[in-house]
Amino acid sequence: MDAEIRFDDVSIYRVVVGPIANNVFIVQCNQTGESILIDAANEHERLLELSKTLGVIRVLETHGHWDHIGAVEAVRDAGIDVSVSIEDASRLPSYDQTIEDGQVITFGRQALRVIHTPGHTEGSLCFELIEHDILFTGDTLFPGGPGATKFEGGDFNKIIDSIENRIFRSFQPKTLLLPGHGDFTTVGNESPHLDEWVARGW
């Protein structure tokens, strides 16, 4: 598998898994080989093989919906710790740690910052790859608008507030957004459309 995005110091790999095409990201420190896997969604054998090859030391869950957690038990059985927000922890079959807004998670010489973005679920999280203008948005923000808020724990006003204040006002237009499904986009591509999303109500 080729790197989707490569810098001198870090590489990002994407694998698409499961019945509704979830993006799973593996972020690897090039200097040490240690990696973080974002969303153990499905196809656990495939993810475990990649985890072994790419040196995954920890899994971070963006939220607890079923399509993002299908491989959680398998990766934990393989000895890889799984972390999730305290608000979404009860949605998982099992986990190792809870993580919270502002927490910095290191792997090798790289770091991800946790950003709480409620609205899709109560405990939805985004992860900023520090110093690289990259944000993993889970199901909070996609090309063309916010994630769904019709499920239990969803709140349209909260997801709009999260997108406006935690993403658009906090990151530069060039910041690359890597969502839980579908294509990549940028803050600059999406931010002009916020009022349209509010007006349409989804």
Model confidence band, residue 149 (pLDDT cutoffs 50, 70, 90): very high
Token pair, residue 137, equals 């948005």
* Domain count across the chain: 1
Residue 3 has pLDDT above 90, yes or no: no
Q: Supply the pLDDT for residue 2.
A: 65
DSSP one-letter code for 167: I
pTM over 0.75: yes
Tens of pLDDT, residues 162-200? 999 999 999 999 999 999 999 999 999 999 999 999 999
Q: Which domain holds residue 106?
A: 5-200
What is the per-residue DSSP string for 18-63?
TTTTEEEEEEEETTT--EEEE---S-HHHHHHHHHHHTEEEEE-S-
Q: The domain that contains 96 carries what CATH number?
A: 3.60.15.10
Q: What gap in Å lies between CA 174 and CA 49, rounded to an integer?
A: 33
Task: Provide mean pLDDT across the span 23-34.
Answer: 98
pLDDT tens digits, 49-88: 999 999 999 999 999 999 999 999 999 999 999 999 999 9
pLDDT at 1: 64
